[in-house]
């Protein structure tokens, strides 16, 4: 099965709402196989209208999670751990309705939670993540969905930065509803070898984000794309590769992702150029 190429709605807009779904037609017309829908707030997305937009465009949907400060399975306050599980439950139901087999993102903790903590505190938070993900993984599996856990770079989390750490977590959770999601932007910062990381993930790799080292269009920067693509083929990866980038015009997401300048002449050109590069690379 060939690798399908997708694009995240954040390339053009944020926050993503039902009104953003017109972008599906744009993505389909460009030639993308998948459209990734970030569920920042389930209440902002009318499940039935989004499903109708998917059907009308003919593109396949993938769901991407958004894990802010109150969605944190490692939080010391149980109310925030419960909020995270409630959010995952709602998002799993949307993914099932829209035909998405994965929910991508760092579901184990809140983005931006980075501190120097003692080994004892780290163990407490690790165990909370394992416990929460076991429950979340069962939710996901019951709906035919896999939580694709994404290692983030050191500036965005202190818990899971590398594929090796993510693999350890996934093995400990031991759920068919939990797998690995690798993003080339984070890999470029944290992995010593992108191909080794992909091979280490192996059959547990269920989702990929493709982004340059500066968050720009794939193929315009320093990421080791040939080695990455070769490794994907060696493990017979058949999931999606999704371009995830952002625009400084959308202030909320730009602040969260530290996007202070345009990454391409236009967001359309970022998507088109990235698609062209990935198609040639992954053929």
Alpha helices in 202-266 (DSSP H): 225-234, 251-257
Q: Which of 40, 125, 150, 190 is catalytic?
A: 150
Q: Say how many CA atoms lie within 13 Å of 93 toward its Cβ.
A: 11
Give CA–CA dist 283/211, Å, rounded: 18
Q: Say how many CA atoms lie within 13 Å of 96 toward its Cβ.
A: 14
Q: Which residue, among 170, 264, 169, has the nearest Cα to 220 in the 3D structure? A: 264
Give CA–CA dist 65/10, Å, rounded: 12
By the 8 A CB rule, do 282 and 229 touch?
Answer: yes
Residue 150 designated active-site? yes
> In 3-state terms, what secondary structure has residue 157?
strand
Q: Which residue, among 70, 91, 93, has the nearest Cα to 82 in the 3D structure? A: 70
Q: What are phi and psi of 81, to 5 degrees?
A: -65, -40
By the 8 A CB rule, do 207 and 241 touch?
Answer: no
Tokens representing 84? 């995270």
End-to-end CA distance of the chain: 11
Q: Which residue, among 263, 276, 255, has the nearest Cα to 14 in the 3D structure? A: 255
Q: Annotated active-site positions, please? A: 150, 244
């Amino acid at each position: 099965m060939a690798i399908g190429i997708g694009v995240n709605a954040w390339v053009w807009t944020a926050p993503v709402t039902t009104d953003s779904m017109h972008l599906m037609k744009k993505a389909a017309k460009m030639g993308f196989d998948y459209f990734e829908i970030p569920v920042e707030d389930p209440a902002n997305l009318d499940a039935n209208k989004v499903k109708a937009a998917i059907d009308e465009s003919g593109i396949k949907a993938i769901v991407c999670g958004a894990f802010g400060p109150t969605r944190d399975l490692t939080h010391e306050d149980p109310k925030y751990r419960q909020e995270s599980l409630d959010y995952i439950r709602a998002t799993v139901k949307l993914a099932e309705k829209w035909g998405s087999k994965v929910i991508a993102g760092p579901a184990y903790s809140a983005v931006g939670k980075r501190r120097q903590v003692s080994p004892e505190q780290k163990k407490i938070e690790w165990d909370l993540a394992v416990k929460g993900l076991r429950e979340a993984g069962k939710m996901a599996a019951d709906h035919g969905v896999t939580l694709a856990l994404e290692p983030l770079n050191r500036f965005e989390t202190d818990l899971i930065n590398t594929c090796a750490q993510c693999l350890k977590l996934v093995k400990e959770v031991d759920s068919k509803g939990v797998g690995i999601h690798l993003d080339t932007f984070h890999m470029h910062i944290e992995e010593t070898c992108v191909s080794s990381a992909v091979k280490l993930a192996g059959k547990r790799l269920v989702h990929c984000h493709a982004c340059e080292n500066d968050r720009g269009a794939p193929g315009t920067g320093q990421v080791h794309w040939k080695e990455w693509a070769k490794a994907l083929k060696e493990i017979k990866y058949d999931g999606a590769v999704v371009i995830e980038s952002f625009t400084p015009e959308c202030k909320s997401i730009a602040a969260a992702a530290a996007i202070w300048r345009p990454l391409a002449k236009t967001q359309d050109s970022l998507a088109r150029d990235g698609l062209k590069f990935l198609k040639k690379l992954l053929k």
